[in-house]
Amino acid sequence: MIERGTLTGHLSAAAEILESRFKEVFATYEERLLAMGSPLVADVETREQLRAQARSILGEVAADLRGQEAPSSMRQKDDLSETIGASRASKGVHASESLRAVAALSEAALSVVVDNLPPSPTSRKEVAVVALAIQNSIMERVARAAVTYTNYLLEKVHESHADERRRISRELHDRVAHSIMVAFRSLEIFEIYRTKDPSKAQARLELAKGTTQEALELTRSLSRELREMSAEEGLEAALSELLDISLPQGIRSRVSIEGDESLITPQVRDELFLIIREGVRNAVTHSKAGAITIEIDISENRVRAVVEDDGRGFEPGEEAPRVGGTGLASMKERASLLGGTLNLASTPGKGTRVEILLPLPGSRR
């Protein structure tokens, strides 16, 4: 509870302003968000969340200014903050947007209070007390929403890693184990026909050799993939190796990197590699492309990566391709975790282009 002393009457007036002029406060708030290009005013759902959150915060502040307990309806703030945190994380809205928004709400509320508070010898103190009450209420909610936001993203990263493990497990079962089984059966048949029909036995022996070699190569490939989950030796080397491993014969490829790779932290570099790897897999599995290119441009403030193919593409609005249960959703979640964005463009018959934009440490969004 804030200290009011001789300010009680004027603080009650400030509380009345916040309640009676809520529409004015919210309109000012929305104007500020629109001016800064905030994604939080992009659709009806997020606007309604903003309105509910603003009303709850200002109602709590008004009660605090009067020296009262917040109404029971205000005590639902925990659920509201958690809902907002999860919703924004799921839509890829970066946490910095929430911080910018609460600053805009504080400024909007204070400006309306200052414009309408009756002049008094203690007006500066009153405004300071109102500002402190707003800040306390807002920061408490921001902390709760931030925890939910972080937990949501961590859960998605965990799901992505689990999907990766399942994919490798399927590869081992469906391809490696199948090749070994074919080789084993061929050797059994070889034993049967070794004396009865040498030519048939020899054919089975050759088949066993071929499938054993195939299983060996697949095992080596998966082992190399597991070993190169990161790009410790640099993006260019890791991506060139990725294309060598992933692309079937006949598909052309090119990797181009411009800029100073040392500007990218190891964490961002490794996550970017995983995003690009998913884009390459999508192209290989779904596009029927003849060529796949990877282009990366690094500046002091951001890194821009593009994965492009000349395959069959898909119609706008058509469900984007998925690989092993991850696909585009996994790529977007990884980009969001880094504070970045992922843009997808595709034209039927002309291919697909995936663009990843990631801010680098020290840059401003």
Assess if residue 260 is contained within a domain: yes
Amino acid at 10: H
Q: How far apart are CA 101 and CA 85, in angstroms?
A: 13
The pLDDT value given to residue 358: 92
The pLDDT value given to residue 58: 82
Final residue belonging to a domain, choices 109, 130, 157: 157
**CATH number where 66 lies:** 1.10.490
**CATH number where 328 lies:** 3.30.565.10
Query: What are the strands, taking DSSP E only, across the chain?
Result: 252-258, 291-298, 302-309, 341-347, 351-359
Assess if residue 189 is contained within a domain: no
The pLDDT value given to residue 325: 40
Final residue belonging to a domain, choices 103, 131, 157: 157
Domain match, 136 and 10 both? yes
Domain match, 236 and 95 both? no
The pLDDT value given to residue 82: 60
Domain match, 132 and 254 both? no
Expressed as residue numbers, the domain containing 254 is 231-365
pTM, two decimals, is 0.50
The pLDDT value given to residue 2: 45
Assess if residue 221 is contained within a domain: no
Measuring CA to CA, which residue among 152, 123, 112 is closest to residue 18? 112
SS3 state of residue 308? strand
Q: How far apart are CA 37 and CA 58, in angstroms?
A: 24
Assess if residue 175 is contained within a domain: no
∠ CA 331-332-338, rounded to 5°: 95
Domain match, 239 and 148 both? no
Assess if residue 267 is contained within a domain: yes
The pairing of strands 291-298 and 252-258 is parallel
Q: Phi then psi for 39, rounded to 5 degrees?
A: -70, -10
Domain match, 149 and 260 both? no
Q: How far apart are CA 363 and CA 298, in angstroms?
A: 13
Domain match, 28 and 142 both? yes
Domain match, 152 and 235 both? no
Assess if residue 330 is contained within a domain: yes
Assess if residue 188 is contained within a domain: no
Assess if residue 308 is contained within a domain: yes
Domain match, 324 and 238 both? yes
Domain match, 130 and 269 both? no
Final residue belonging to a domain, choices 157, 173, 202: 157
DSSP 182-226: HHHHHHHHHHHHTTT-HHHHHHHHHHHHHHHHHHHHHHHHHHHHH
Do residues 16 and 25 make contact, with C-beta atoms less than 8 angstroms apart?
A: no
The total number of structural domains in the chain stands at 2
Domain match, 152 and 18 both? yes
Q: How far apart are CA 334 and CA 331, in angstroms?
A: 5
Amino acid at 154: L
Domain match, 290 and 152 both? no
SS3 state of residue 67? coil
Domain match, 149 and 245 both? no
Q: How far apart are CA 271 and CA 59, in angstroms?
A: 42
Q: Which strands, in side-by-side order, build the sheet including 351-359?
A: 252-258, 291-298, 302-309, 351-359, 341-347
How far, CA to CA in Å, does 22 sit from each of 16, 17, 62, 74?
A: 10, 8, 11, 15
Q: Enumerate residue ranges in the chain where pLDDT < 70.
A: 1-10, 69-95, 121-123, 141-154, 156-162, 164, 223-232, 316-327, 361-365
